[in-house]
């Protein structure tokens, strides 16, 4: 057991330090290595993150940037496909081509000289494209938006071609965005200065190696976000790696959907994989707009164990407003 833990210890140190320091040039060299052509679509920023039921003119938009081996010269077009996922029924509509953006519509006067464009889809347009009635959507449903990049030589790239190396960090290239349907939330709700602490007993799946993943002592955090999404950064394994973990809490019409992944780089056991968090199995935790002074709920840590083969475990967290 000691040898096994020593190997995990060594691998995690290497992955946490090397991958989090990966440079922009090294990433694109790895992505395009050994190919005559090739390209990535980078997510520069997501401006509007969800469709909020009851808000005026709900809209989703993302700014993307294309890079290829000729710094954008191979770009032909990007197609945008939309579908609708009804989570209560477990059904998804067929994809519909919403928009084709030609290379000439991209802006080349950008910080890196690479072509950029803004993609915006209103809720009304998403409903029309998928043939969905607004009365049938509810919090927790979502609209998958998929991008298909086509180069001038006919090569195409989409989410099924995006390796783990380019789905995070500078070249964040998921090609697929799940746009959640949420209920309107007051802008100042569950935001600002909080502490978060672990109230459960399990340290982590490594049998005591690497100290605690979530500190039992209150850790000061600042919760931000917009719409119905709340975000904060947590120093994961705070006494060992203090690895920046991006935490997202979607407030979905009474339910809290908790997810976490690396801010950049990866913390895992190889292959560009990174440890992630998700909702605990069973009923989702709930929130009340009447009081945001404290929240206690369970999450599933190591929901993706980053290739370490440990499996997941349940963590109980307590959030307290300061």
Q: What is the pLDDT of residues 188-236, one digit of tens each?
A: 999 999 999 999 998 888 876 899 999 999 999 999 998 889 999 999 9
Residue 163 has pLDDT above 70, yes or no: no
Region 110-138 average pLDDT:
95
Position with higher pLDDT, 9 vs 186 = 186
Q: How confident is the model over 45-87, as pLDDT tens digits?
A: 998 888 988 777 899 999 999 999 999 999 999 999 999 999 8
**Rounded CA gap, 205 and 215, in Å?**
15
The predicted structure's pLDDT at residue 37? 53
Per-residue tokens: 167: 């789905």
Domains of the chain: 2-18+186-321 (no CATH), 36-183 (2.60.40.1940)
User: First vs last Cα of the chain: how many Å apart?
Assistant: 42
Any alpha helices (H) in the chain, and if so which ranges? 2-14, 20, 24-32, 123-130
Residue 208 confidence (pLDDT): 67
pLDDT bin (cut points 50, 70, 90) of residue 20 is very low
Which is higher by pLDDT, 302 or 26? 302
Higher pLDDT, 170 or 214: 214
DSSP string covering 8-46: HHHHHHHIIIIIHT--HHHHHHHHHTT-SS-EEEEEEEE
Q: Which stretch of 21-35, 181-195, 279-293 has the lowest confidence by average pLDDT?
A: 21-35
pLDDT tens string 237-283: 999 999 999 999 999 888 999 999 999 889 999 888 899 999 999 99
């Amino acid at each position: 057991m000691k040898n096994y833990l020593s190997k995990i210890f060594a691998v995690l140190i290497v992955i946490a330090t090397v991958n989090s320091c990966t440079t922009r040039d090294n990433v694109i060299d790895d992505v395009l290595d050994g190919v005559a052509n090739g390209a990535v679509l980078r997510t520069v920023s997501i401006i509007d993150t969800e469709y909020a039921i009851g808000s005026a003119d709900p809209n989703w938009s993302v700014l993307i940037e294309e890079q290829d081996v000729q710094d954008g010269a191979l770009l032909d077009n990007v197609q945008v496909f939309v579908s609708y996922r009804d989570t209560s029924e477990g059904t998804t509509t067929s994809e519909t081509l919403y928009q084709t953006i030609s290379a000439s519509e991209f802006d080349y006067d950008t910080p890196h000289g690479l072509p950029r464009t803004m993609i915006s889809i209103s809720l009304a347009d998403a409903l029309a494209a998928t043939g969905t009635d607004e009365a049938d959507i509810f919090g927790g449903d979502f609209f998958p938006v998929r991008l298909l990049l086509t180069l001038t030589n006919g090569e195409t790239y989409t989410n099924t071609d995006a390796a783990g190396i380019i789905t995070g960090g500078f070249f964040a290239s998921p090609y697929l965005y799940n746009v959640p349907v949420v209920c309107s939330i007051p802008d100042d709700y569950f935001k600002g200065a909080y502490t978060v602490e672990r109230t459960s007993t399990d340290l982590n799946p490594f049998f005591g190696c690497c100290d605690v993943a979530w500190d039992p002592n209150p850790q000061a955090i600042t919760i931000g976000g917009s719409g119905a999404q709340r975000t904060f950064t947590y120093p994961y394994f705070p006494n060992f790696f203090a690895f920046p973990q991006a935490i997202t809490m979607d407030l979905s019409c009474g339910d809290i959907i908790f997810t976490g992944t690396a801010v950049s780089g990866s913390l895992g056991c190889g292959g560009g994989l990174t440890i992630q968090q998700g909702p605990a199995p069973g009923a989702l935790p709930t929130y009340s707009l009447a009081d945001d002074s404290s929240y206690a709920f369970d999450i599933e840590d190591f929901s993706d164990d980053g290739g370490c083969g440990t499996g997941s475990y349940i963590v109980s967290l307590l959030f307290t407003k300061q």
